Amino acid sequence: MPLLCGGTSEAKDANEEVQKICDEMKSHAEDKAGRTFDVFTAKTFKTQVVAGTNYFVKVHVGGDEYIHLRVYKTLPHAGETLQLTSIQASKTHHDPIEYF
């Protein structure tokens, strides 16, 4: 299925690149959530191409608990910096990753 312009991709299993993004965003996610996470493992993700890329990532944070992150990665000419733009807490393994 072709990617809709501005739409999100299909969900894919997280890879090493997505885990590295999550590792960089862990402290920011902890700040936004107001707590620390002993586990922080990327499970699945979607992407959205904008003027850069939005990553929507399902992250396992321990037990049956998951969070969803939206991380913006700038284009290469802008340094490919990462910014945690939003977080959704109290998610489960079965909650689909939606645009937020």
pLDDT in the model for residue 27: 96
The answer to whether 68 and 33 are in contact (CB under 8 A) is no
pLDDT band at 3 (very low <50, low <70, confident <90, very high): very low
33-70 residue pLDDT tens? 999 999 999 999 999 998 899 999 999 999 999 999 99
**pLDDT greater at residue 94 or residue 80:** 94
Domains defined for the chain, CATH in brackets:
12-91 (3.10.450)
Cα–Cα distance for residue pair 99/9, rounded to 1 Å? 10
21-34 residue pLDDT tens? 999 999 999 999 99
pLDDT in the model for residue 2: 44
What's the sign of the alpha-carbon dihedral 70, 71, 76, 78? Answer: positive
Which ranges in the chain belong to alpha helices (H)? 16-33
pTM: 0.88
pLDDT in the model for residue 6: 64
